[in-house]
Structure 1
Amino acid sequence: MIYVGQSKTDRFGSFHKSINFLVKIANCLGLLPVTGLATEFKWRSWKCLYTFTIMAIFVTNSVICIINWTFVKFSLKLLGTQMNVINALTSLVLYVKLAKKWPKLVKVWSEVDRKMNQVYGYPKNLDQRIAVAT
């Protein structure tokens, strides 16, 4: 697979290749709805549908919690739960914004990666170190 902004000869030692594992995990969690190896973003894709389904669940949870506060009773325990849901929803929105800009970011990063690789070389076992850190 060829990465955005890279030729066949230099695609094997790149930071983008190293974080491929993280991108796949983010896809599974619905955080980064990008297609392929993070080279394009499509609004009409299963990954976006999955992400927006998770968002809809969070919004529904928030509405139910607010209704519960209004008609039943307000409690600090529910406030903590609600704050976690709002935090997760905000994170999803920010990740979708990042996913929209991801192809351009990958292209620019690949160019920087190529220049840095020429000067400093590629770190050994970076793929494994990133996988262990996650």
Structure 2
Amino acid sequence: MVPVYKTLSSPELLAKCARGATQNANESLHASIWKKCPKEKFISKKRLDVAVCNAVGEHNMGCCASEEIMNKIKKSSVSPASLTIAARRDKRRIYESERSSSRVNKSIRKKVKLTKSKEEANKEKKEGKTYSVGGF
């Protein structure tokens, strides 16, 4: 257990995590992989590999490009319905990304976060500390 602790607490690894910029991207990728292959259901390694490749393709290039690449690998043609669905998914993903990164939405999120933290501080001031590690 000590070697694992030393590895996880090494300055090099902690320096990589300092910005915290990769966590949301990784969580998003993992969610799309598990959506294709749920953890609760047994699947073969081959199917998992295909799901991971497909999810990475969609994450990096979008659904349309991923569909076209997968069909080139399979040496088959892309159906128009598949391309329509992929284009809609790409359009929705871009719209949601732009909407959530707009200045208005960012300021709203900051205001909500500030309001919640003020409410929590007021509750703690009024009630006292209600939880502490090992306190029960």
TM value normalised by structure 2: 0.32
Q: Larger helix proportion, structure 1 or 2?
A: 2
Q: Which one has more relative contact order, counting CA pairs under 8 Å at least 6 apart? A: 1
